Amino acid sequence: MSHVFPRHTKSVLPVAASGDGAYLIDDQGKRYLDCGDAAVSCLGHSNPAVIAAVQAQVEKIAFAHTGFMTSQPAEALADLLIEHAPGDLDRVYFVSGGSEATEAAIKLARQYYMEIGQPERCHVIARRQSYHGNTLGALSAGGNAWRRAQFAPLLVDMTHIAPCYEYAEKAEGECSFDYGQRVANELETEILRVGPEKVMAFMAEPVVGATLGAVPSVDGYYKRIREICDQYGVLLILDEVMCGMGRTGHLFACDHDGVVPDILCIAKGLGAGYQPIGAMLCSARIYAAIRDGSGFFQHGHTYVGHPVATAAALAVVTELTTRDLPARAAQMGEKLQSALEAALGQHPNVGDIRGRGLFRGIELVADRDSKTPLDPALGTAAKVKKAALAQGLICYPMSGTRDGKQGDHILLAPPFIIEDDQIDELVTKLTAALTEVLG
């Protein structure tokens, strides 16, 4: 009997035994094409450079508390990230994962306004149907009704505006640009409702991952969001935990939108699964406020800037940048989009195939014309996950929430090293799984 407390207590999972590039292999020798481990394994499972970096660092020094010492890999990783980061982002705060990054971002925004003498600014605005992590602060920012429901009394009061979700919410006859401006302007309305002097930050994902299934914003949306934030002195926090680190075709997803956030959160692809690590990048202005104020960011975890985690991430980001892997993600992503459209574009339950780079989503519907979601009681996402696993494919089907109505989608996040024949394998296996579940 297993004593591990599993995620799903009613199912028995295969045991991961080893990895080989794009494949995970279980203890029975079965191979799974890994296209959905929550967008973590951007380099595949057996990258020699990252493995060597981890081994070398463990032998040198595995741990030194950052209250006393910094470490060479943490310094080098921060330099490398800043070299590639947009705008004036120039400081990096390391944590151990995505929720820690978004949580730290919220606290940094709060401390920034305390330091500059605007203590009344403590309100965060985020978007409906969003996910920013599972700790209580991050969960408060998230606007996914199902994830919030049972913890609601413990959550911090934050408010939510509409996401930019063209497929489901653009009005009949409205052009994409106008739709984007309309939903971006909801931020201004909400800031004015709350009172601009009370709002400290707006948080959103450049390309929405888990909750909506690889939904990019329309052109002009983030430019308008940035304008509104600047007008009212609201900090823009972009959560690139899932869509960042090259997955959408740029090392930083916001480069596509041409905006620079005040605080940017990354994780997942940063360590590529070789070590748990996340990071929060902040602008020179925010850093200066802390440095010239109390001189101390009142936050921290034991494993901040862990030498082995930062050594792994340094090797990952070196691989991503020297091999130009974000460009490869863009190129292979186009191939994946075309292959999905060819195989599934006419399926009666496939409403939309979308995404950016190697971050693709398929929205499942009961009816293509009305875009009516599938009945949640059917449990379609869970069935597709199971059928795909049996086929030897790991993808990431999710039950989303369209404000009360449940919608199912499948998120695909293959490693950037995926080859043409593996894209064929992915599409063939996914089509078989969908056919088994939906006919």
Q: Taking CB under 6 A as the criterion, which residues in 309-338 touch ligand PMP?
A: none
The label of the residue with tokens 């863009």 reads: 330
Q: Binding to ligand PMP (CB under 6 A): which residues in 8-47?
A: 38
**Window of 23-31, 128-136, 335-343, 350-358 that interacts with ligand PMP by CB under 6 A:** 128-136
* Spatial separation of the C-alpha atoms in residues 242 and 340, rounded to whole Å: 21
349: phi then psi, degrees, rounded to nearest 5: -105, 5
The neighbour count for residue 66, using CB atoms within 10 Å, is 18
Rank residues 237 and 389 by Cβ distance to ligand PMP and give the closer one: 237
Position of minimal CB gap to ligand PMP: 98
Separation in Å, CA 431 to CA 167, 271, 395, 410: 22, 31, 12, 12
- The residue among 40, 72, 69, 68 whose CA lies nearest residue 311 is 72
Q: Which of 398, 94, 51 is nearest to 266 (CA)?
A: 94
Work out which of 115, 239, 363, 408 binds ligand PMP, going by CB under 6 A: 239
- State which residue, 264 or 387, has the beta carbon closest to ligand PMP: 264
Does residue number 141 form part of the binding site for ligand PMP (CB under 6 A)? no
Size, binding site for ligand PMP by CB under 6 A: 15
Q: Minimum Å distance from CB 101 to ligand PMP? A: 7
> How many angstroms separate the CA atoms of 126 and 242, rounded?
17
Could you tell me if 141 and 102 are in contact, meaning their C-beta atoms sit under 8 angstroms apart?
A: yes
179 binds ligand PMP (CB under 6 A): no
Quick one: how many helices (H) and strands (E) in the chain?
A: 14, 18
Q: If binding is defined by CB under 6 A, does position 111 make contact with ligand PMP?
A: no
Report, in Å, the least distance between residue 264 CB and ligand PMP.
Answer: 12
**241 binds ligand PMP, rule: CB under 6 A:** yes
SS3 398: strand
End-to-end CA distance of the chain: 37
Rule CB under 6 A: say whether 267 interacts with ligand PMP.
Answer: yes
Question: For residue 414, what is the DSSP state?
Answer: -
Q: How far is the CB of 209 from ligand PMP (least distance, A)?
A: 5
Is the Cβ of residue 71 or residue 211 nearer to ligand PMP in the bound state? 211
Between 239 and 425, name the residue whose CB sits nearer to ligand PMP.
Answer: 239
Sole binder of ligand PMP in the list 19, 36, 97, 373 (CB under 6 A): 97
Q: Which is nearer to ligand PMP, 102 or 129 (CB)?
A: 102
CA 331 to CA 421: how far, in whole Å? 15
Can you tell me the distance from the alpha carbon of 375 to that of 378, in angstroms, rounded to the nearest whole number?
A: 6
Which positions from 192 to 231 touch ligand PMP by CB under 6 A, shown as an x/- string?
-------------x---xx---------------------
Return residues touching ligand PMP (CB under 6 A): 38, 97-99, 102, 131-133, 205, 209-210, 239, 241-242, 267
